[in-house]
Every structure is written in C-alpha cells, then in structure tokens.
C-alpha cells in the first residue's frame, strides 16, 4: 500500500541476456548461436553473460570461461563492451521515463517503475507493461521481461518467473498463492548464508517460512527476522527511489600540509580505496574504471584512470590500481596537495563475483 492507502502498481523491467543481446542485435550473424560475453577462455577469464542458446549447455555468469568452452566448444566468446551497454541502457531508460517519472535504476539493465499515479494514458499497469515491451522491441531491437505487482518485492520475483521475453502480473489477492511454493532464496535478502540457516530450521519454501511466528525468526535472525516475516507474506513498503542513476562514486582529501613522500600517499590511497569499495558494496554496484586525482601545490590537477576487464568492488584491487596510477603522475617528485580515488562505469554488483577469476 502507498502512503495514500492506495494499492501501488509497481513494474520491474529486466532486460533479457542484456550484454549478449546487444551484441547479437548489432551483429545479426550471431542470431541463433551460443554467445558468451566475458573473459578469454584460454586464460582465467570468466563468463559475464550468456544468451539462452549458450545456457542450454549449462553455461552461466561467473563460470570460468575455460569451463564454458568445454561445455560448448562451438560457443562464440566476445569481450565485454561496457560503454556500449551504458549507451544502450540510457536509451532504454528514456522510454521508461516517458511513461512515468518514477523510475529507480537497479542496474544497467534493470529498473523499478511506479506507475500508480501515471495510468491516465493506458488505464492499467498491465497495459503500461505491454507498451514498454512493445517499444523496447520495436525501437531498440531488444526484449525485456516485466513483472507487475503491488510492490518491488513481488514485481521483481514476477519478472524472474517470466523470463525470457515475458510478462507476469501478480494482483494483490494472488500474492500469497504466487509466493508460497517458491524456494526461500527467491526472496530479496535471502543469500546463501540465510538460506542455509533457514534450511537448518527445516524451512525450504516461502510457505514454510510464512508458517513460522515472528518471535522464532527474531530469535534466530534478530532484526532481519522481521524482514523475512514480512517478505514471506508479500509485504514490502520500500518506495521506488527516483534519484538519478549514480554515474560514479569516490572520495578525496585536501591536506593541510602537502604530502611529500610516495609512501604516505600510498597509505592515503589505500584508505580511500577501502571507502570506495565499501560504498560500492553497500549500493550493490561494481566499478569498471578507477581514477586517481592528484592536485599539486600550484593547483595544477591531473587524473589517471584504468579500466578493468571485469568490474570490481574489491578494496585491495582498487587500492593497487590507484597506487599504480599514482606512479604515472609526478607525485613523489612533486609534493601533493590533494588526492582522490573514484570509481565509474558502474554495473550491477553481481558482476563483482567475476573478479575472482580475473588476471587483473
């Protein structure tokens, strides 16, 4: 329910195999073939995205690319092109914002839309969802799966349930029946550790979770137990956050006394990298590009950047890159008045799993 007491109409729009789909659209010769976007299968690269033709062989994201090659030797491996994906994302989100100003960016290819107060032109949320799917297909040559529900939780689960290229509507009176048979891991906030803890309590499905009293969940999970209790009942009061998509995240310091020694600068960069990495993790984002900013006592300012093949949230990796970039400046030979570290070209946080296999 919204603040006015009205039942909300929330859409969750999730592009299908987004990275691979963009490449296939732009190169029609790839149509119908197994396409894998990610690192080099001859090294320690990993899979970032795979189309459904490739998934039929058991290929999935975060899998070592070498294993994907063994599963499907005929697969076509492509390097990620994040600037291209971002440009396309901007065009897709422009379509969403033509239909409602209340759009929350979850990632490059995923958004929540609140259409509760914006149904004049279409009458129903279902009609808006159909219009979105039509326009994305006709104007961008891509497909999007859309879930419709009374809140973000239900809309997200509904879009997952109808992929690929589907539409799933869950009206308020059908929420519990929709959720009950699902495994608990389908609920937002239930990761592997929580799933294992619930399994130890004999809870595998949402219906089984729903049967447990709040007191039992609070005793085991503390404050998170209340969230589990509510989500099992389809209760989710989170609003659609309409702030603009974050393009970068960073921190910088201006020093009262100029830094003269590279070792002292390294210590500052490591601390800033920790702050940036923590900020990315909390926002469920990962960064492709790390930039170091250096300002000398005469106020001359320079920046140096590095773009990773695989996005990261890892503070040590960010710090190591920052220190390498610092050595591409005159820092150490010249004193430094200001240092900064920023992360940009941000992508979904799930991509950070891939860095485990990246050569860096």
| Spatial distance between the Cα atoms of 289 and 215, rounded to a whole number of angstroms | 45
Cβ(290)–Cβ(359) under 8 Å? no
Cα angle at 73 between 71 and 76, to 5 degrees?
110
Question: For the residues of 157-170, what is the DSSP string, one character each?
Answer: HHHHHT-SS-EEE-
Q: Is the peptide bond before 141 cis (omega within 30 degrees of 0)?
A: no
Which structure tokens are listed for 318? 């960010």
φ, ψ of residue 121 in degrees (nearest 5)? -75, -20
Contact partners, residue 28, CB within 8 Å, separation at least 6: none
Beta carbons of 217 and 230 less than 8 angstroms apart: no
Residue 161 makes CB contacts below 8 A (sequence gap 6+) with 147, 168
Q: Which tokens sit at 75?
A: 């697969």
Which of the residues 53, 102, 104, 110 is marked catalytic? Answer: 110
| Catalytic residue flag (residue 117) | no
Q: What is the C-alpha separation between 33 and 25, in angstroms, rounded?
A: 12
Beta strand 336-348 pairing with 248-259:
antiparallel
- Which residues are part of the catalytic machinery? 110
């Amino acid at each position: 329910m919204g603040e006015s007491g009205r039942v909300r109409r929330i859409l969750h729009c999730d592009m299908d195999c987004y990275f691979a789909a963009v490449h296939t659209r732009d190169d029609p010769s790839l149509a119908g073939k197994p396409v894998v976007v990610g690192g080099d299968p001859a090294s320690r690269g990993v899979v970032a995205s795979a189309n459904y033709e490739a998934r039929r062989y058991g290929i999935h994201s975060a899998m070592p690319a070498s294993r994907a090659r063994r599963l499907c030797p005929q697969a076509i491996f492509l390097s990620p092109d994040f600037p291209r994906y971002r440009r396309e994302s901007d065009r897709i989100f422009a379509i969403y914002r033509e239909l409602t100003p209340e759009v929350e960016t979850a990632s490059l290819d995923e958004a929540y839309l609140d259409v509760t107060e914006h149904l004049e032109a279409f009458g129903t949320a279902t009609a808006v969802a159909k219009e979105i799917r039509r326009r994305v297909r006709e104007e961008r040559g891509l497909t999007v799966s859309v879930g419709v529900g009374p809140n973000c939780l239900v809309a997200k689960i509904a879009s997952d349930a109808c992929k690929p290229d589907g539409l799933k509507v869950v009206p308020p009176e059908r929420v519990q029946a929709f959720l009950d048979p699902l495994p608990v891991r389908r609920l937002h906030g239930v990761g592997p550790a929580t799933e294992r803890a619930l399994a130890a309590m004999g809870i595998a499905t949402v219906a089984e979770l729903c049967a447990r009293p709040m007191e039992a969940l609070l005793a085991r999970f503390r404050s998170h137990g209340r969230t589990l209790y509510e989500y099992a009942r389809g209760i989710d009061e989170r609003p659609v956050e309409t702030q603009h998509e974050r393009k970068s995240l960073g921190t910088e310091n201006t020093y009262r006394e100029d830094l003269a020694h590279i070792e002292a600068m390294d210590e500052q960069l490591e601390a800033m990298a920790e702050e940036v990495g923590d900020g990315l993790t909390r926002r469920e984002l990962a960064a492709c590009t790390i930039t170091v900013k250096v300002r000398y006592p005469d106020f001359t300012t320079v920046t140096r950047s590095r773009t990773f093949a695989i996005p990261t949230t890892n503070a040590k990796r960010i710090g190591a890159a920052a220190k390498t970039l610092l050595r591409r400046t005159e820092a150490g030979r010249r004193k430094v008045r200001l240092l900064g570290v920023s992360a940009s070209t941000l992508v979904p946080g799930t991509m950070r799993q891939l860095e485990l296999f990246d050569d860096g």
